[in-house]
Amino acid sequence: MSKLFFDNIIMFEEVDKAIKNVASSTEELNELRDIVDGIVNHKVVEKVLDKLPKEHHEGFLALFHKCPHDEVTIFEYINQKSGRDIREELENDLKSISSDILHELSPKDEVSEETGVSKK
Amino acid sequence: MTQPAKETYQKYTQEKYTSEFLRNKLKLKSLETKTSLFEKYPHVKKFLDEKGLDLDKIRKHSAKVITTGALTGTLLFAVPTPSRNLPVISSIVKNITDFNSESSKPINQEKLLTNLREILPDNVGPLTRSQEKQIEKVINDVIGVNTKATLEGEHLNTTYGFIGLEQHLARYPGDNVTYMAPGRGAWGYFAGSKSNLTEEAIEREKWYVAVQTLYLPDWEERLSYVKDWYKYRKVLVVNTANGNAVIADIAEAGPAAWTGKQFGGSPEVMNSLGGSRYTKGAVVMFFVDDPKNKVPLGPIQYNNIDLKGVTMVEV
C-alpha cells in the first residue's frame, strides 16, 4: 500500500481528466501521472517548508522520510512547530498548484516564429 | 469512408504533437519545481541525497515503509479520532445468527450497515488487518459471498476508500459507445474485434472497476505476474452509505493518488452502488474468492427496505 500524509487533502481530478484525454496508452498515462506526482511532491515539501521555521526543516524531513504516510504525526509536528493549523493553508496551496498544472496542460495557440501565423 | 491521406497525417501529427507537447511541458514544469525547491532550500537537497531519497519516487518509499511496518508489526495507523472499542467478532456473529435464526427473511441491509458502521473508522482510509477480518466475516455471513482482503498474498492499495465514476472502456478496436475513455484500458481490449466480442467480455467491461495497481509496493518488479493476477480479478464493492453491493472485475489501473479517490467504477457499477447521480462515495472493496468462477458479475440483490435517512437504490 502507498500513501502520503497529504493524500486526503489533495483532489486533482481535473488534472487527471486532462491527462487521460491526451494519453494514448496506459504506459503514457502512467508516465504523465508519475510526472505530476513528482511535481506535487516537490511543491508540497516546498510549501510546508515555507511555513516552518528553518530550525525545524530537518525534523519535518526526517519524519517525512521515516513515515511519509502518517498524516496525524506529520501534521501534528508541522502545526506545533509553525504555531498554527496549516492544513487549510496547505489545501489552498494545493488548489493553486492544481490550477498551475492545468494551465500548463491547456492548449495554447502556438505561433510560428518565421511567419507569425498560428500553427493551428 | 476513409479520410484523405493528408487529413489523416495532420490528425496523427496533431495527436502526437499534443501528447508529446504535454509530456514535455510537464517535464519542464517538473524541472522548474525541483529547481525552485532546491534553490530556495539547498539543505533539503543535501538531506535527500544523504538519505538516498528521491521525491519523485517517495510513494514507492512509502509503500516499502508501510509493508515493512506491517510485517514487523510495528505499524500503527494513527487514528485521527479517539480509538473506538471495536466489537468482538462473536458479538457481530451473534447479531447475524440471531437474525438468521428467524424465518427465511431476505438479506437485511440494515444489519450489514450497522455492523460495518461499528467496524469502519470515522475517516475513510486504510483498514487494519483486524478490521478487514471482521468485515470479511460480516460480508460472508450477511451477503453470502466469500471475500478476502488478502488473496493469494495480494492486497489492494487500500480496501476502504473513495470510488469515482469512470468512463466506458473500448471493448475492441474501433468500439464507440457513449461516454467512452480515449485509449484502451490498462489490460487492453476485451476482445480482438467486434465479431469476437463475447457475452463474457461485454459483462467484464460493463462491471469493471479501476484499482491502484500502480501503487503496489513492487508492481514494477513483479509486473508480469501481478498484471496477470489482477486482470479481470473479481471484487465485491459495498457502498458503505447505503449497503448496495456489486460484484465487479478489475479492468483498469488508477485513479492517480492525487485525485482524492482510490477506486474507479464503470457507469453501471456506480449506478448500481448509488444511482444515476452517484459519482463519488466511500466503499469497501475486497477480493472475491471464486476459484471456480461461479460468482456472476453485477449487483447483488437486497430487499428494498427504506432506512431512515438513507436513500435505498433499487438494483
pLDDT in tens, A65-80: 999 988 889 999 999 9
Residue B121, all three cell numbers = 473508522
Strands B160-165 and B150-151: unpaired
pLDDT tier for residue A20 given thresholds of 50, 70 and 90: confident
Confidence check: pLDDT of B135 > 90: yes
* Cβ count near B299 (within 10 Å): 20
Give residue-wise pLDDT tens across range B50-80.
999 899 989 888 877 877 765 555 444 444 4
Confidence (pLDDT) at B5: 54
Residues 6 or more apart whose Cβ sits within 8 Å of residue A53: A81, A82
Sign of the four-CA dihedral A105, A41, B167, B291: positive
Q: Are the Cβ atoms of B27 and A35 closer than 8 angstroms?
A: yes
Q: Are the Cβ atoms of B30 and A35 closer than 8 angstroms?
A: yes
Closest Cβ opposite residue B78 in set A13, A19, A70:
A70
Query: Model pTM?
Result: 0.79
Average pLDDT of A7-20? 86
Strands B160-165 and B263-265: parallel
Q: What is the ipTM of this complex?
A: 0.86
Q: What percent of chain B clears pLDDT 90, i.e. is strictly above it?
A: 56
Contacts of B51 in chain A (CB under 8 A): 65
Chain A residues 13-52 with a CB less than 8 Å from chain B:
13, 15-16, 19-26, 28-43, 45-46, 49
Q: Are the Cβ atoms of B253 and A107 closer than 8 angstroms?
A: no
Q: Are the Cβ atoms of B62 and A13 closer than 8 angstroms?
A: no
pLDDT tier for residue B171 given thresholds of 50, 70 and 90: very high
**Contact between B258 and A7 (Cβ < 8 Å):** yes
Average pLDDT of B38-56? 92
Give residue-wise pLDDT tens across range B268-287.
999 999 999 999 999 999 99
Give residue-wise pLDDT tens across range B234-275.
999 999 999 999 999 999 998 998 898 999 999 999 999 999
Decide if A91 touches B, using CB distance below 8 A: no
Confidence (pLDDT) at B99: 47
